[in-house]
Amino acid sequence: MGLLINTADPYSVAVGEYYAQRRGIPPEQILRLELPVKTRLNVAEFEVLAARVREHLGPQVQGLALAWTQPYAVECNSITSALTLGFMPEVCTQTCAPTPPSRYFNATSPRPFAELGLRPSMLLASHSVEGAKALIDRGVASDQQLGKRGVPLASAVFVHTQDQARNVRAPLFPPAGPVPALGVQVERRDASDRTAVGRVILYQTGVLREEHLDRIGWLPGALADHLTSHGGQLLAPQGQMGVLDWLEAGATASYGTVSEPCNHVQKFPHPQVLLLHYAQGATALEAYWRSVAWPAQGVFVGEPLAAPFGR
């Protein structure tokens, strides 16, 4: 794992140093640089960042943790996608159109840079340094805790809503029932069901705003996301729920789009692909990245090395 710290941002310095200590990131895999502290970089600013990453980080670095909340976008691309796959200017001419596919979608490579020439990246983002440290602690606490003999099944919850535009992933939800081989219990719910649900390791829905976050009992390492247009605009989601709300509620990683994607299911995490990779031992970074076919507009946020099903 490579770690990027923005020395112009006190949040980034504090969170980056804490993450390096908690995850044992060696000094040669840490890049300190100065970036504008704003929501979106322009192309010239991004090219400076990308060049520094190429120059500083060696071939052993397979993924990137970005220790900041902003910038989270490069024009209409997410910053995590731009660093991983390269900036795609054509996306900005029509953000509702299909975007280039990711060669990391549903891949099994444990060394994506060595084998595919890309480094999946994730933002260590939060509204506060304290929130980011709690997020990191949840990720560390999750490691290798699930999918073992004698451990109760974790809940993977998929919520069907009446929002026709945002409920388009519902046909992709896996069938309900226990899956002991993976250590999970799949639950399919209707949004009208207000009962509490516990031991949640994955929660997906399609809604403008999840109104009942307090009914969800999160396990360390939980993933959660909602299909909506502006969830990835971390500091100004235009009246919609942002992905940082999932993290503040107790999830450990999430995903959302930074520009209007329309409701192509390929631009959002595929429920079955995400669950399968995570439950087979992938990290949050690997599982989330492998689950999105067209990730140009999507920002990945959370503790990248969380691996509750790891061996």
For 55-87, give the DSSP string.
HHS-TT---EEE--SS--EETTEEHHHHHHH--
User: Is 169 part of any domain?
Assistant: no
User: Is 132 part of any domain?
Assistant: yes
Q: How many structural domains comprise the chain?
A: 1
Residue 229 has a pLDDT of 96
User: Is 199 part of any domain?
Assistant: no
Residue 299: which H helix or E strand, with range?
A: strand 298-302
User: Is 165 part of any domain?
Assistant: no
pLDDT band of 239, cuts 50, 70, 90: confident
Q: What value does the mean pLDDT take over residues 233-255?
A: 94
pLDDT band of 311, cuts 50, 70, 90: confident
User: Is 201 part of any domain?
Assistant: no
Least confident span in 132-141, 205-214, 268-277: 205-214
3-state SS assignment for residue 204: strand
Tell me the CA end-to-end span of the chain in Å, nearest whole number: 18
| pLDDT one-digit tens code per residue, 156-184 | 999 999 999 999 999 999 999 999 999 99
In this structure, the number of other CB atoms found within 10 A of the CB of residue 133 comes to 17
Closest CA to 64 of 96, 99, 106, 33: 33
Residue 207 has a pLDDT of 95
* Amino acid identity for residue 287 in this structure: A
Segments forming the whole domain that contains residue 103: 1-149+222-311
Closest CA to 258 of 121, 6, 72: 72
User: Is 308 part of any domain?
Assistant: yes
User: Is 268 part of any domain?
Assistant: yes
Residue 272 has a pLDDT of 98
pLDDT band of 142, cuts 50, 70, 90: very high
pTM for the predicted model, two decimal places: 0.97
| pLDDT one-digit tens code per residue, 190-221 | 999 989 999 999 999 999 999 889 999 999 99
User: Is 176 part of any domain?
Assistant: no
